[in-house]
Amino acid sequence: MTTNDADSTPLMRQYREIKEAYRDAILFFRVGDFYEMFYQDAEEASRLLNIALTSRDKHSANPVPLCGVPYHAATAYIAKLLKAGRTIALCDQVEDPKSAKGLVRREVVRLYTPGTLVDAELVPPDETAYLAALIASDAAAPALPSTFGLAAIDLSTGDFRLSSFEGEQALLQLQGELSRLEPRELLVPDAADGALLEPSNLARGCRICAVGHEAFDLAAAESALHKQFPASELERLTKLDSSAGLRAAGAILSYLRNTQRHGDLRHIRAVIIHQHGDDMPLDPMTIRNLELVRPLASDRQEETGNRHTLLSVIDRTVTVMGKRLLREWVLRPSLRIDRITERLDAVQELLQHLETRVDLRSALRGMQDVTRLTGRLALARATPRDLSVLKQSLAVLPALRPLLGRCRSTLLVRLYAEWDDAADLHDLLDGLLLPEVPLSSRDGGIVKDGYDPTVDALRGAMRDGKQWLLELEGRERTRTGIDSLKVRYNQVFGYYIEVTKPNLSRVPPDYIRKQTLVNAERFMTAELKELEERITGADVKLKALEAELFDRLVERLAAQVARLQSIGARLALVDVLAGLAEVAALHRYVRPEVDDGETIEIIEGRHPVVERLDLEGGFIPNDTRLDRETHRLLIITGPNMAGKSTYLRQVALIVLLAQIGSFVPASRTRIGLVDRVFTRVGASDNLAAGQSTFMVEMSETAHILRHATSRSLILLDEIGRGTSTYDGLSLAWSIAEYIQSAPHLGARTLFATHYHEMTQLEGLRPGIRNYRVAVQERDGDVLFLRKIVEGGADRSYGIHVAKLAGLPAAILTRAQEVLHQLEQGGQSSDRLQNPEPSERDRSLPAPHPILSEMKQMDLFSMTPLEAMNRLADLKRRLDQE
């Protein structure tokens, strides 16, 4: 930034001084009714916002680039810049231009970053907006893994979380937590390991912000935590979490104090420490494959409006607080049977008592986002309308208490005992606020008549002022004889007397000319000047007093932050429980039996998402039994498109629903507690990492085999399809054997495959059972019954699926001929009869001699190692040819 004549003015010198402290941000610099941007900021903003780029003092040899946006519409432009990954420093006028002596004083009043947003216009109400900090502590020895410390806060609600991960699964657990939090901004030390920051290790759309390593200093972190929390909370944190977690928490608090200079952080009053063993640690792969909160093809489906996910189909909440809590439950199924049972008891009671459920949900519909309103109170960003909305929400609380008093389940009884009507806070708000209030506290029109005597007196002067002006106008008309004379007002000239051109000859000599127009002239008199000072003085004083009374009210309410946060948490819990009961009533869900056994038994289970689609013939329910003895690993065969993948996902989703405390889509269910759900379903390339479909498939499978336990649930769909038939079959066979027999595994597993040869495993290994998708053949066509029955399939029906997909008849006929010849041995002397004499005869190429040798191999009597060695020998011989 170079200086020249165009930027040597006091205003531009002030701009440069402020910009120096915010070099990495786009500075919104308030000038009159606009926020203006200069130099590189202007050039970048004009491009990103698609607004005109102009210049300051165009006649200068080096004009300063300039663009601007109206101050009243700034939020929309800020949102666009944030989406583009920019930081915005909002520089406002902090004194009244009318009373300022010389240059109006300006300073940055807000720094907008993706992870520090609290504005309703910038944060969707049903989404979280986490700022996270991550640090990796070096291991004590090179062979040992690092310890990761992760802290995260949603500034809009004060939700502060702390986690530490160490051991062999540390990186996996970290990835899972980031997937659940989906932070918008991640703080890391400026010398962080680049491998840790690989996109695959981080949440989608997360902005990385490198900060000085000193921000993660342990002593500084403990000091920051000590300032924020009472000694008892700091002692709890020190006992429960590692130094890495504390350092991450300290970095977040330091960042917030630097960016939120004009707000209090009093709503950050406690830290949630995630204890390993309380919640099921879902990994990113499972969250994605089961479409828990986001559809797989999210971009396309968002455009078409098709957003079916587990969360979307069970979300019957009526408040945004409930929506956020339900999302939290879906991503953190519980591992504590007592907690699951309490939730199920509450859902069952509300399901059985229709009147109570309807009354609760009806009352909750009038509830706004108390939690985020509380956050804006603490940060001194609450507007008069925020407080008006809070008042309306608090008015609903007394109606909810007697409804909870009808309930007898443990969780609802506890909520009733802890219920707070907050009548005193409602009365405080109702006593001051007018029914209709403005958006800004500077605009006046906030305080009720009768609340403050001075406000009443000034308001009376304003009302009298209007009468004084009318009386003055009447007297001047009589005195001058000008019937069209009018007393008017505008913001530039204040009050004035307007006289049309034909009547100027009658203007008295004591009239002082202020402005000449095309058809009229404007004047001032001594009496009008005196009235103006009295009226505008009262107006200025009234607005200033109302703003002061409003600020006092905000301060009194901010002192009740902890209480308001507790109220918001209770409302969210009631909403989620009532919503889950509503889902159970609408869609015939039943209560699952959840215990610490090893059996998963589902009778007439249904896929909660797929059954909501408009399927021809309706959804076909299926049974499932998994245990550690006779039904440890189920091999599921059947044609493509017959419903194998749906069945696999259905079982997993029913388990997850049960462990969040929801009823499930089935007629009867027993769930032996599952510690992890692992999925390898679907096929995808990771081109950015140079990985093929098969490589991704094998990497994900290896991840499952390393981390699953005997209490896990594993879903494997079409393992080995990304490579040649024999390679794929060998791998699928070996993986099934490993899961069934490895000492640390023996997990309950659903293994869907198109290799019907794998059905032979049932007779070779205990605990492996065959199931297939029933198919009905009729006149050469097949009908997929979508029913899972015992037994293995001996055909894949690939040509029939191709027919259903609409391939031309000629291709299908030829494929059937080739298939027949292959099934007969594929001898070179065989010729295929051409169905069309006009076309030239075709035949299969002569098979390679090694093929004949391979046909003699008894593959399924070999061990996996023998099969792989034989395959390596055949490949070596082929390479030598």
CA angle 9, 10, 13 (to 5 degrees): 90
Query: Is 529 assigned a ligand-binding role in the annotation?
Result: no
Crossing angle for the helix pair 798-805 and 809-823, nearest 10 degrees? Answer: 180
Length of the chain: 881
| Residues contacting 382, CB < 8 A, separation 6+ | 373, 376, 554, 557
Q: Which two tokens stand for residue 72?
A: 């009243």
- The sign of the CA dihedral 623, 629, 633, 636 is negative
Is residue 333 within 8 Å of residue 587, measured between CB atoms?
Answer: no
| Residues contacting 366, CB < 8 A, separation 6+ | 392, 393, 395, 396
Distance CA 154, CA 116 (A): 8
Distance CA 269, CA 229 (A): 6
Which ranges in 196-353 belong to alpha helices (H)? 218-228, 231-240, 243-259, 284-289, 298-304, 310-314, 320-331, 337-352
Residue at token pair 């004889």: 481
The DSSP code for 840 is P
Q: Which two tokens stand for residue 113?
A: 């970053």
Supply φ then ψ for residue 472, to 5 degrees: -60, -45
Please report how many Cα atoms fall inside a 13 Å half-sphere around the Cα of residue 42, on the Cβ side: 18
Residue at token pair 């059972």: 769
Q: What are the C-alpha distances in Å from 591 to residues 283, 597, 655?
A: 26, 17, 12
| Residues contacting 325, CB < 8 A, separation 6+ | 317, 572, 573, 575, 576
CA angle 447, 453, 456 (to 5 degrees): 60
For residues 556, 558, 563, 566, the Cα torsion angle rounded to the nearest 10 degrees is 160
Q: Which two tokens stand for residue 221?
A: 């972190």
Strand partners, 262: none
Supply the Cα-derived Rg of the chain in whole angstroms: 36
Distance CA 189, CA 142 (A): 21
Query: Is 638 assigned a ligand-binding role in the annotation?
Result: yes
Instruction: Express the helix, strand and coil content of the chain in percent, nearest 5 each.
Output: 45, 20, 35
Q: Secondary structure of 414-426 in the HEC alphabet?
A: HHHHHCCCCHHHH
Query: Is 642 assigned a ligand-binding role in the annotation?
Result: yes
Nearest to 262 by CA among 32, 37, 92: 92
Distance CA 671, CA 687 (A): 39
Query: Is 643 assigned a ligand-binding role in the annotation?
Result: yes
Rounded to a whole number of angstroms, the distance between the first and last alpha carbons of the chain is: 70
Distance CA 195, CA 188 (A): 13
Query: Is 645 assigned a ligand-binding role in the annotation?
Result: yes
| Residues contacting 398, CB < 8 A, separation 6+ | 421, 423
Distance CA 152, CA 272 (A): 10
Binding-site residues:
638-645
Binding-site residues for ATP:
638-645
